Amino acid sequence: MSDKLYDVWFSAMLINRPDIFNKLIEKYKTSENAFNSFTDEDLLNLPDKQKVNMLRKDLKQAEKIILRCEKEEIAIINQNDDFYPNLLKYTDMPPIVLYAKGDFKKLKLPKVTVIGSRKHNQEGISNARWFSEALSDAGLQIVAGFAEGIEANINKTVLSTVVILPCGINITYPAVHFRLKNSILQSGGLFITEYPFGIRAYKENFIFRNRLLAGISDATVFVQCGAKSGTSHTFNWTALYGRDAYVIPGSINSEFYKGSNRYIKEGGILVTCPEDILIDYFSKYPELLNENLDFNNRQVNLPEVDEKVLESFECEEKVILKALSGKILHIDEIIKETNISVTNVSVCLVNLELLDVIEKCEGNRYKIK
């Protein structure tokens, strides 16, 4: 009988306890041997009710899960499978199996995880789109969560993402992302989870899922993270696994960046453009990545200036508005692009803000309103 049957059984019995399964494999070598040979002494750290349930050794639930997976075209990827992500094998708690809906061949590609907080502002959305689009165009597979906010924008921008869920593969959480889930699958994306059918998105599952976000990729990009963001767990996992944590900085006065700026203080790598990340990836995957790309292109659905509106402005204001069209630029970048003096740029920006034509964002950046 296939080892996958026993792997599925253990995945259903040992929710959030893959450490016990991995100890059993170390002792009994295969999941079939572990199933046939384990005793209550191997389950000392489990509650009595769970021990009793496991000692019954009833395979019916596992058989039903496999049949449903076959019916709904969900792949079951165990630790011996060629598509099981290699980097996960080198973590302290590799998942027993991965349930995968979509193009599971993406698991063989070089990956980068991109995440952020639910609470965000427009600058966070802009950077999420800019970084995820540029990294994807370079040939990297984007991995993300599925929460509202920054992660929703990452998924909407790339679509062909690998999404890691904190619940069963049959559950859409949050429910408002039902259409987004279908769009991702139709665009060649992939949903994976270590949880069997029916397991809800409980709070502890998010914390546990975050180890997979950190463990599946060479690096994680933290786009915009507040002080109490769940991304702190992912940041801790990256440190534990020795993976790179790239962090986009923000204003020290902004609540949206309290977590991000703390991550930098604690060893995260400060980045200000996708190239900062790709330099490291090019050295690891030179044959797979596309180096001939303009990663500084920030035109990611930002407002553009109306030509008719330009007619009513002074010469230098027109030049600045044209420079900001479809972009979000730091004041230093505006000065560089327009060749206008620091004093005049500052005066023009104040005037344009007062006229409600442009908007000042975090980090002394500006965009068309």
Q: Which residues contact 217 (CB under 8 A, 6 or more apart)?
A: 87, 111, 112, 113, 143, 243
Residue-wise pLDDT for 21-62, tens only, equals 999 999 999 999 999 999 999 998 899 999 999 999 999 999
Cα 140 to Cα 15: distance, rounded to the nearest angstrom: 31
Cα 173 to Cα 205: distance, rounded to the nearest angstrom: 12
SS3 at position 178: helix
Q: What global pTM score does this model have?
A: 0.80
Domain ranges of the chain: 1-71, 104-284, 307-368
Measured between alpha carbons, how far apart are the two ends of the chain, in Å?
A: 63
Are 120 and 95 within 8 A, CB to CB? no
So what CATH class is 104-284? alpha beta
CATH architecture of the domain with residue range 307-368: Orthogonal Bundle (1.10)
- Reading the chain (369 residues) residue by residue, the pLDDT tens digits are 478 999 999 999 999 999 999 999 999 999 999 999 999 999 988 999 999 999 999 999 999 999 999 999 999 999 999 999 999 998 999 999 999 999 999 999 999 999 999 999 989 999 999 999 999 998 999 999 999 999 999 999 999 999 999 999 999 999 999 999 999 999 999 999 999 999 999 999 999 999 999 999 999 999 999 998 889 999 999 999 999 999 999 999 999 999 999 999 999 999 999 989 988 888 788 776 665 555 555 444 456 767 766 777 878 998 999 888 877 788 888 998 899 998 899 999 998 888 888 888 755 778 887
Residue-wise pLDDT for 201-237, tens only, equals 999 999 999 999 999 999 999 999 999 888 999 999 9
Q: Which residues contact 282 (CB under 8 A, 6 or more apart)?
A: 289, 291
SS3 at position 142: strand
Sheet holding 358-361, edge to edge: 328-330, 365-368, 358-361
Is the backbone of residue 188 left (phi > 0), alpha (psi -120 to 50) or beta? left
Q: How many helices (H) and strands (E) does the chain have?
A: 17, 12
Cα 255 to Cα 275: distance, rounded to the nearest angstrom: 26
